[in-house]
Amino acid sequence: MTSITLEFDGLPPEAAKCAACIDRLGERLQGVVGISSVVMAKDRREVVLALHETAEPKRVEAAARKIMSEVADGYVHDALRIGGMDCPSCASEIEGSLKDIDGVVSASVDFPAARLFVEYELGKVGLPDIQNQVRRLGFSAQKLSDPAKDDSATQVVPLALGGVLWVVGALAPESAKPILYSAATVVSGWRMIVPGLICLRNLKFSTNTLMTVAVIGALSIGEWSEAAAVAWLFALGNFLQARTMNRTRTAVKSLIDSAPRIATIRKNGERREVEIQEVIEGDLIEVKPFAIIPVDGDVVEGNSFVNTSSLTGESEPVWAAPGSEVLAGGVAEGGFLLVRAKGSFTDSTYSKMLELIERGQSARAPQQEMIDRVTAWYTPAVLIGALLLGITLPLLAFRTWEQGLHQAFWLLMVACPCALVISIPVAAVTAIGAASRLGAMVKGAVFLEALPKVKNWAFDKTGTLT
């Protein structure tokens, strides 16, 4: 049987990384006359088309390529920087809320990278609508092109003010305690309560839902101090988790930020500095001593040792002279080089390496998938258990109403799965970032998990492991 293999590189750039577009591509290819089956090999980023015996391969391939080029027509792809996420359940809440909007085709939140990737139909919904929906949940949403804002104040100020109100409530007269404790609960727990109530309204159960029900229940039975304590401690835990995740993101971001931003081009005897994205094939690039080579190319003039250890693993610098090939990311150690670009920065080895780092920190490990499946059932199970303790057992006279309600709310308070949910992403991203700083490029958490099963290691003469 004849088959045709097409790479995802033939897709528009905005569709190549969009799962919804790739699924839509598979559906549309199924309708092409002459194609008997379509296999989407997402891991290899290609699609394999099996043809009928009577099909004309050239005609089928032309039709398939046309569909690939048009698969994103009528749809808009945007990426936003999300601030204020404390744990993966926040990412799930954002995804669920956005998917309920008419016109939103897909929404995926990359928690480790704090990114939202959304696809929506042109004319039905706009980016401001999506940003407003995210903000209603208590998170910030910025375009990647906008300067990053420090949202730490939105966590520190409520946490500090809530703590003060809690302490003042403990020292206040009995008549003032309910007001002060309630204020402490709302101030320190608003980032939990708002998304928790929205999820509860939509019958979607998350960690915030558990804690919101517990806090409101504690307030309803007069446990003012306990409600304030739970809200404040939960906010403190989320703040510490967010700090841990931000340190990890910063470590990986520092590697990505080390990429060259500016290139010096020589043209018609003049020198000018341009953004790295403006460099095209054939441009003459000046590389000063101890500067990073911005793009892959061939040396036209000058000579220097070039340190490529971060790219090739070669510990010793290599000699570059006219005619030598040099790679982006290499450092010219001591000499001046004039390099003719062989392509743009996005085509360079260094750019692809950075893309591997970004993909690696976002890739989900099998253990993370397992935890997600468990928590999808765990949260509703805890709520059912709380209902049994708080309502069913008192109705059957196995508990008094006071005992049942107190035990139900205690269960909700201690059963929060945040530590379990955040454990794998933090460990994986931290390990990938640390490995990257040491020159080891890890494609994803799934490969980290496979390392304990490796029995033999093979290194080349430079000590490089591939």
Question: Which of left, alpha, beta for 11 (phi over 0: left; psi -120 to 50: alpha)?
Answer: beta
CA–CA distance, 168 with 301 (Å, rounded to integer): 73
CA distances from 176 to 165, 215, 219, 225, 416 (A): 11, 19, 15, 12, 30
Distance, CA of 215 to CA of 404 (rounded, Å): 16
Task: Answer yes or no: pTM beyond 0.95.
Answer: no
pLDDT at 138 > cutoff 70: yes
| Each residue's pLDDT tens digit, 268-296 | 878 888 887 788 888 888 888 888 888 88
Confidence at residue 298, expressed as pLDDT on a 0 to 100 scale: 92
pLDDT averaged over the chain? Answer: 78
Query: What domains can you pick out in the chain, each with its CATH number?
Result: 3-70 (3.30.70.100), 75-143 (3.30.70.100), 153-255+365-423 (no CATH), 262-350 (2.70.150.10)
How big is the CA angle at 458 (ends 454 and 461), to the nearest 5 degrees? 155
What is the per-residue pLDDT for 433? 66
Q: Would you state the pLDDT for residue 465?
A: 62
Q: How far apart are CA 299 and CA 338, in angstroms?
A: 6
Q: What is the pLDDT of residue 368?
A: 62
Pinpoint the alpha helices (H) of 35-118: 57-70, 88-99
301, pLDDT greater than 70: yes
How far apart, in whole angstroms, are the C-alpha atoms of residue 28 and residue 10? 15
Active site residues: 460
Q: Tell me the per-residue pLDDT of 238-273, one tens digit each, with 9 for 90 and over.
A: 777 667 666 656 655 655 556 677 888 888 878 888
Task: Pick the more confident residue, 93 or 424.
Answer: 93
Residues 6+ apart with CB under 8 A from 196: 206, 208, 209, 210, 211, 212, 213
pLDDT of residue 342 exceeding 80: yes
The structure tokens listed for 357 are 């780092």
